[in-house]
A and B are shown apart, each in its own frame.
Chain A
Amino acid sequence: MNTAAAPTLDDHDHGHHAGPSPGLMRWLVTTNHKDIGTLYLLFSLTMFFIGGAFALVIRAELFQPGLQIVNPHFFNQMTTLHALVMVFGAVMPAFVGLANWLLPMMIGAPDMALPRMNNWSFWIMPFAFTLLLSTLFTSGGGPAGGWTLYPPLVLQTGDAFPFVILAVHMLGVSSIMGAINVIATILNLRAPGMTLMKMPLFVWTWLITAFLLIAVMPVLAGAVTMLLTDKYFGTSFFNAGGGGDPVLFQHVFWFFGHPEVYIMILPAFGVISQIIPTFARKPLFGYASMVYATSSIAFLSFIVWAHHMFTVGMPLAGQLFFMYATMLIAVPTGVKVFNWVSTMWRGAMTFETPMLFAIAFVILFTIGGFSGLMLAIAPADFQYQDTYFVVAHFHYVLVPGSVFSLMAAAYYWLPKWTGHMYNEQMGKIHFWLSVVGVNILFFPQHFLGLAGMPRRIPDYALQFTEFNMISTVGAFLFGFSQLLFLYNVIQTIRGGVKATDQVWEGAHGLEWTLPSPPPYHTFTTAPVVK
């Protein structure tokens, strides 16, 4: 075996020349990027179903007015944990899983740059979530102050409070280690000839995302640390009574929170930019402008945070600044959508499941972008803020946005990962049920918000009944459709029609030159990129 690239895995060579360790130990001690990618993906799928179950509790309670199933305090725990689980447990780890599997194969590297750290950053997460979810069983229940953790409300959390903070810290550490690993891999382990501007767009978007993570996860850690000292150590960062200010927390939180939104969508842009050219059989339109657009979105994400806070009573100048800056984001985002449409233009398209999800992504994410633009308009935001219009907006961006991109990615690369083709028929049924379900679920929420329904309420006035019923029906349709996906994935892992190396007729890139499934160690000899 030629090990030209092997020693670059600096402080370790563990398991490198050998195959995987036998049995369960393989997963516990693995430093192999494919194993860790698999762990991340399976973990996030589990979290997706747990967070989804919480969502169904919420939707079931909201099926009709009155309190039927849960009490308001438990309802608030459900909304809080649904968000925390979906953001930190489902979406973010899923993209890290994709990064682990794909970045080395896309840039011709033998593994991630820091394999041992990779193992740690995964294994922190199950502990963090066990901790977080176990708070449901503490006296006073789990966190119920919303995932945004606004004080003073969050300080009314019971025994769960320190555990929630600790869990957030652990997730932060895990994300930061993951991000450092991604950056080190991309900057240091590219195959000869793989210049930055030749990297697949998924690699580019992850590079930018990783920088966002490093920049903002520590800020979140700082914010929750201050919450902790305010509650237990008598500081008054956010307590007006001691000279602090609860609004300051919101500023710190959203300084993290807005880039966080892009952390969950930029890799999705990358995925879509890989898939559309494959099935359009035409190179991506405007590669360079995609890179610049992604970078400018990332930059703008740092200067728009207070658009989440138009109602806190900012001075006029502040409101104007954050309104204009937020509106500007529409420009690079528009560029991306135009580029995808132009990639399809005069291609020779086929519509396998990944492409269907990618097309649905472009349309439905754009709808979420439109409502985002409406929300940017500060005067109108006073009417939208904290209503179901906002709920509809960010769910359009996150579910048929991020989550659809993850589904698309799973179908797209599953044959490469497992060596088997998934069941296309079932994939298409899953797609259609999902796309119909997700729209029944979230579209009526626009109407609810505009008609005046606040978010995070367990019971509502009678005029909101019909759309809530429709939304709940959509939620159950969408939720249970995902079992098809689970079944399809399991079946594909277990067997099926052999996949070719290229898998898709129009697929280009280094990962498609490898066998399907790729051997445990790949690119131990760096390929040369023309």
Chain B
Amino acid sequence: MEIREAVSAGAANRRLVKRLLLITVAMFGFGFAMVPIYDVLCQITGLNGKTGGRQVAAVLPMAVDEARTVTVEFVANLNVGAPWEFAPQVSHMQVHPGQYYQTHYLARNLTGHALVGQAIPSVAPGLAAQHFQKIECFCFNRQVFQPEERREMPVVFRIDPNLPSDVHTITLSYTFFRLDDAGG
């Protein structure tokens, strides 16, 4: 009787510990799972103004809303240790939702050797991010610069007419990061 109780208690312990370890491992995994979950949330909510640096999947024609004008501001930032000059060609544009527009960012390698960099986009207000469609953008790829090369980098974009009507100004910001594996 005593022995049977003991065995079942030992077995109960083992079962319980196994389950608890399973929870532990699952929660460790959940920590990592928060990465894709967060990305999805960012896409949906425009959290942090992420536009993901991704191209719009299908470029479907849209009705152009001539009656509405939205101001798009262009901003350039350099991350620390990114030895470029980097600036938008124009500081802002007046655009109609639904219509394509093109502009340029200018960048110049300030060093005497080749550099690799990547621009990371961010849109304010965050809720406008999902309505800001980049059709062509230098931010989709890493950019290789020859020594002291100066280059114009195009952005083709369109504002989705579904942009909430109370948004009148959208800021598109790029931060240029140097990639460490430059030249590699």
Contacts and interface: CB of A to CB of B under 8 A. Distances in A.
Question: Is any CB of A less than 8 Å from a CB of B in the complex?
Answer: yes
Contacts of A184: 13, 16-17, 20
A7 B21 CA distance: 22
Interface stretch (B30-38, B98-106, B145-153): B30-38
Given A7-B6, A180-B21, A240-B175, A215 B45 contact: no
A216 interface: yes
A484 B45 CA distance: 55
Interface string A288-321: 0000000000000000000000001111011000
B50 interface: yes
Nearest to B7: A7
A330 B35 CA distance: 31
A226 B32 contact: yes
Given A113-B13, A245-B48, A317-B45, A176 B32 contact: no
B3 interface: yes
B3 A7 contact: yes
A252 B21 contact: no
B72 interface: no
Interface string A171-188: 000001001100110011
Interface string B1-29: 01101110110111011001101111111
B127 A315 contact: yes
A317 B125 CA distance: 14
A243 B53 contact: yes
Interface in A218-261: 218-223, 225-226, 234, 237, 240-243, 245, 247-248, 251-252, 255
B176 to A, nearest CB: 9
A65 B23 CA distance: 49
Given A222-B28, A222-B31, A247 B48 contact: yes
Contact of A315 (B16, B35, B126): B126
B49 to A, nearest CB: 8
A248 B24 contact: no
A220 B34 CA distance: 12
Interface string B114-132: 0000101000001100000
Interface string B142-184: 0000000000000000000000000000000001011111000
B107 interface: no
Contacts of B118: 241-242
Interface residues of A, number: 47
Given A7-B10, A10-B13, A215-B23, A221 B48 contact: no
B71 interface: no
Given A222-B28, A240-B175, A252-B31, A8 B16 contact: no
Given A241-B120, A241-B179, A243-B120, A313 B20 contact: no
B140 to A, nearest CB: 11
B181 to A, nearest CB: 8
Given A240-B177, A315-B127, A318-B45, A248 B38 contact: yes
B90 to A, nearest CB: 25
Contacts of A318: 45, 47
Interface string B40-67: 0010011111100100000000000000
Contacts of A216: 27
A280 interface: no
Given A241-B179, A315-B45, A315-B126, A4 B5 contact: yes
Contacts of B38: 245, 248, 251
Given A215-B27, A240-B175, A114 B13 contact: yes
A183 B30 contact: no
A214 interface: yes
Contact of B16 (A179, A183, A225): A183
A4 B67 CA distance: 86
A209 to B, nearest CB: 14
Contacts of B127: 315
Given A10-B13, A222-B28, A315-B127, A241 B79 contact: yes
Contacts of B46: 315
A234 B180 CA distance: 9
A123 B16 CA distance: 23
Contacts of A237: 35
Nearest to A313: B48
Contacts of B42: 245
Interface of B: 2-3, 5-7, 9-10, 12-14, 16-17, 20-21, 23-32, 34-35, 38, 42, 45-50, 53, 79, 118, 120, 126-127, 175, 177-181
> 3 closest Cβ contacts across the A-B interface?
A222-B31, A241-B177, A7-B6
Given A8-B10, A242-B118, A255-B31, 20 more contacts: A4-B2, A6-B6, A11-B10, A114-B17, A179-B20, A180-B21, A188-B9, A188-B16, A189-B9, A217-B27, A218-B24, A218-B26, A218-B27, A219-B28, A234-B180, A237-B35, A240-B175, A241-B179, A248-B34, A252-B34
Interface of A: 3-4, 6-8, 10-11, 113-114, 176, 179-180, 183-184, 187-189, 214-223, 225-226, 234, 237, 240-243, 245, 247-248, 251-252, 255, 312-315, 317-318
27 contacts: A7-B3, A10-B14, A11-B10, A180-B21, A184-B16, A188-B13, A188-B16, A189-B9, A214-B23, A217-B27, A219-B30, A219-B31, A226-B35, A237-B35, A241-B118, A242-B118, A243-B53, A243-B120, A245-B48, A245-B50, A248-B35, A248-B38, A251-B38, A255-B34, A312-B48, A314-B47, A315-B126
